[in-house]
Amino acid sequence: MESKHVHEQIAAMRQSFFNELEGKDNPNFVEEVFTMYLRDSIAFLETIEEAMKTIPIDSIKVDSILHQLKGSSASVGANKVLKEVNKTRQVLGKGNLERTKASILELRKEYDSFKAKLEPYFQLKQANSMAQEK
């Protein structure tokens, strides 16, 4: 029972934090930040995947894009994506291209999972906002 109370407190604190971030002047701030993250990160991933198809692979370019994805993921708290980016950069740095390709597949899975978790949240939020307007 105490665990449920703690989870409710955490949810209320999280919502309070989101409310403070968004405020009256920018009610969709959090959604906008995540929308930008999703847009930019999918572009990074697609560029990485295309770069991995070239011969020879431009490891410096791939690492640079991974570094950008790392920063973006850290900024929004996409910790599992960030972890996979770090793994991929390590493997790439060792020059093992087959393991790098496999690692990029895992990175894509984590990104897709993160995106799949975000989308329903914002859909519910939007539906709730519309219901409150009525």
State yes or no: pLDDT of 9 exceeds 90: no
Mean pLDDT over 7-18 rounds to 76
Note if the pTM is more than 0.85: no
Class of 29-133 per CATH?
mainly alpha
d(CA 80, CA 121): 18
For 115-126, the pLDDT digits (tens) are 999 888 878 877
pLDDT tens profile 36-92 = 999 999 999 999 999 999 989 999 999 999 999 999 999 999 999 999 999 999 999
Mean pLDDT over 90-96 rounds to 95
Tell me: pLDDT of 11 over 70: yes
In order, the DSSP letters of the chain are -HHHHHHHHHHHHHHHHHHHHHTTT-TTHHHHHHHHHHHHHHHHHHHHHHHTTSSS--HHHHHHHHHHHHHHHHHHT-HHHHHHHHHHHHHHHTT-HHHHHHHHHHHHHHHHHHHHHHHHHHHHHHHHHHHHH-
CB 103 within 8 A of CB 87: yes
